[in-house]
């Protein structure tokens, strides 16, 4: 009996040890699986976006956020994105940008001109982080700029606007800030207007805002009271378009398809399409092929485009826009190829000459046909 009992106990010990070893192996396997999952999660390429406004349903920030969503859709499990909205331009932006760099984000997009210097400052502190700034001109080894040739779409919308008013009538332009980006848009639009309506004028009122519905409506109303027959603008709100509609007049939108929110009185809207650029840029960084750059894509790249036309736009105008767009896309012509004249009639770009990108990016003059100044 004792021998049998000893054998029985020994068997139990062996079995217990096996069970214990098996259990240890299972725990080890689970631990390895958990570690692998954690590592996979940690290896996601983390991208942060700094927004000047709210994503909302339309406008500048909305289109940037649409690009962010496309980035998530296209790159799937490779990326993790986040954003912070309503970040004021200026010194405090550096604190927000720095926080994301400190949290281990691999790439940071700052989506407004006033974030440029704060981003330059932070980029110098985090050489292993990629920084992308929209609409600026300063770069570093780890900081690039990106923007779109919106002036091309603005020109096309000017053709539509010029055809929508009588010969010699005026258009109201509610302008944001007198910086090159906005000035370029005013000039390109005016060149389009006067191509089809040589005696028309474009009256400019500055609001010094990117998003202020009250101020932008007031500016539009003042222009309408002065007798303009069509309204356009360079801000996120639809208030100028609504003001025109209330007077029974038409308008041209900006940033997003404003016709979706105002109606057929919005003839067309030049708009942004950032997704393809975001996808390519982030993929380059993941692949290790990213290099600093100053990207400026246009109609050809699909970064800028026109919305669908209102039913109020005739087929002959659509055909004209299509023909002009083809010339820009195939490179046979562009908006600021000479002759281009300044407000006082002096030739700024001679016939047969092409304005260089650097001169366009620093544009500080208004073309013939614009009523207003860069000072107010």
Give how many domains the chain has, as a whole number: 2
Are residue 83 and residue 197 in the same domain, yes or no? no
Are residue 141 and residue 286 in the same domain, yes or no? yes
In the block, tokens 């990106």 appear at: 146
Are residue 203 and residue 315 in the same domain, yes or no? yes
Q: Is residue 12 part of a domain?
A: no
The model's pLDDT over 236-279, given as tens digits with 9 standing for 90+, comes to 999 999 999 999 999 999 999 999 999 999 999 999 999 999 99
Q: Is residue 357 part of a domain?
A: yes
Are residue 69 and residue 94 in the same domain, yes or no? yes
Please list, in sequence order, all residues whose beta carbon lies within 8 angstroms of the beta carbon of residue 204, skipping any fewer than 6 positions away. Answer: 173, 175, 186, 366, 370, 371, 372
Q: Is residue 234 part of a domain?
A: yes
Q: Is residue 232 part of a domain?
A: yes
Instruction: Mark which of 286, 301, 316 sits at the end of a domain.
Output: 301
Q: How confident is the model at residue 376 (pLDDT cuts 50, 70, 90)?
A: low
Provide the token pair at 234. 């360079």
Q: Are 186 and 202 in contact (CB under 8 A)?
A: yes
Q: How confident is the model at residue 161 (pLDDT cuts 50, 70, 90)?
A: very high
The model's pLDDT over 129-140, given as tens digits with 9 standing for 90+, comes to 999 999 999 999
Are residue 107 and residue 60 in the same domain, yes or no? yes
Are residue 120 and residue 260 in the same domain, yes or no? no
Q: Is residue 35 part of a domain?
A: no
The model's pLDDT over 164-212, given as tens digits with 9 standing for 90+, comes to 999 999 999 999 999 999 999 999 999 999 999 999 999 999 999 998 9
Q: Is residue 31 part of a domain?
A: no
Residue 36 confidence (pLDDT) above 70: no
Q: How confident is the model at residue 119 (pLDDT cuts 50, 70, 90)?
A: very high
Residue 20 confidence (pLDDT) above 60: no
Q: Is residue 319 part of a domain?
A: yes
Higher pLDDT pick, 172 / 41 = 172
Query: Can you give the pLDDT at residue 42?
Result: 56
Residue 7 confidence (pLDDT) above 90: no
Are residue 191 and residue 318 in the same domain, yes or no? yes
Are residue 70 and residue 206 in the same domain, yes or no? no
The model's pLDDT over 289-344, given as tens digits with 9 standing for 90+, comes to 999 999 999 999 999 999 999 999 999 999 999 999 999 999 999 999 999 999 99
The model's pLDDT over 352-361, given as tens digits with 9 standing for 90+, comes to 999 999 999 9
Distances (CA, A) of 90 to 49, 103, 216, 363: 16, 21, 22, 22
Query: Can you give the pLDDT at residue 57?
Result: 81
Are residue 80 and residue 226 in the same domain, yes or no? no
Domain that holds residue 139: 44-148+274-301
Average pLDDT of span 73-89: 96
Q: Is residue 5 part of a domain?
A: no
pTM of the model: 0.86
Specify the CATH number for the domain of residue 233: 3.40.50.2300
Residue 90 confidence (pLDDT) above 90: no
Are residue 335 and residue 292 in the same domain, yes or no? no
Q: Where are the alpha helices (DSSP H) in the chain?
A: 2-42, 60-75, 92-102, 116-125, 150-164, 180-196, 213-225, 239-246, 259-262, 275-287, 315-329, 357-361
Are residue 291 and residue 338 in the same domain, yes or no? no
């Amino acid at each position: 009996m004792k021998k049998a009992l000893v054998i029985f106990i020994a068997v139990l010990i062996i079995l217990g040890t096996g069970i214990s070893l098996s259990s240890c192996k299972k725990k080890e396997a689970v631990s390895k699986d958990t570690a692998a999952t954690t590592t996979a999660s940690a290896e996601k390429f983390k991208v942060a976006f700094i927004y000047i406004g709210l994503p909302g349903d339309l406008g500048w920030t909305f289109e940037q956020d649409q690009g962010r969503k496309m980035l998530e859709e296209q790159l799937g499990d490779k990326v993790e994105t986040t954003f912070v909205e309503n970040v004021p331009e200026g010194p405090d932006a550096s604190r927000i940008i720095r926080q994301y760099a400190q949290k281990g984000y691999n790439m940071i997009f700052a989506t407004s001109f006033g974030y440029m210097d704060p981003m330059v400052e932070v980029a110098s502190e985090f050489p292993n982080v990629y920084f992308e700034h929209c609409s600026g001109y300063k770069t570093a080894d780890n900081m690039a700029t990106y923007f779109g040739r919106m002036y091309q779409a603005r020109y096309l919308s000017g053709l539509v606007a010029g055809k929508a008013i009588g010969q010699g009538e005026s258009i109201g332009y509610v302008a944001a800030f007198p910086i090159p980006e906005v000035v370029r848009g005013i000039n390109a639009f005016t060149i389009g207007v006067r191509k089809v309506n040589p005696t028309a004028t474009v009256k400019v009122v500055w609001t010094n805002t990117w998003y202020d519905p009250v101020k932008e409506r007031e500016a539009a109303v003042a222009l309408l009271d002065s007798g303009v027959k069509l309204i356009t603008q360079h801000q996120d709100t639809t208030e100028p378009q609504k003001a025109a509609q209330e007077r029974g007049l038409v308008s041209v939108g900006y940033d997003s398809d404003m016709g979706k929110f105002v109606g057929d009185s919005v003839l067309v809207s030049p708009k942004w399409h950032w997704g393809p650029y975001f996808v390519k840029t982030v993929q380059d960084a993941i692949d290790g092929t990213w290099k600093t750059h100053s990207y400026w894509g246009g109609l050809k790249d699909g970064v800028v485009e026109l919305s669908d036309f209102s039913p109020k736009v005739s087929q002959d105008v659509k055909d004209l826009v299509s023909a002009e767009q083809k010339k820009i896309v195939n490179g046979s012509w562009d908006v600021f190829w000479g002759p281009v004249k300044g407000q006082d009639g002096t030739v700024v770009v001679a016939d047969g000459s092409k304005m260089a990108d650097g001169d366009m990016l620093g544009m500080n003059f208004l073309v013939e046909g614009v009523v207003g100044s860069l000072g107010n």
